[in-house]
Structure 1
Amino acid sequence: MSGVLSFGRAAAVSRMTESITAGRFTDGVDEVTGDPTRVLVGDPLYVGPARVKYTANAVQNAVGASQLVTTQQVVVSIPTQPATVTPGEGELPSVGVWPYVNVTLPEGTVITVTASSSDPALVGRSYTVDGVATLGQSTAHRYPVTELS
Structure 2
Amino acid sequence: MNERQRDLFLWVWSQRRKPGQTAIGIRGALIGAAGGVLFTLLMSPGAPSSVPTYDTGGQLLGALSEHLRMLVLAVPAFAGIAWFLANRVYASQEAMYQAILQSGAQVPTQKPEMQMSDRGPAIAVGIAAAIIAIFIIVLFVMYW
State the TM bucket, normalised to the shorter chain: under 0.3
Bigger Rg over Cα = 2
TM-score (norm 1): 0.24
Q: Name the structure where helix makes up a greater proportion of residues.
A: 2
Q: Which has the higher contact order (CA 8 A, sep 6+)?
A: 2
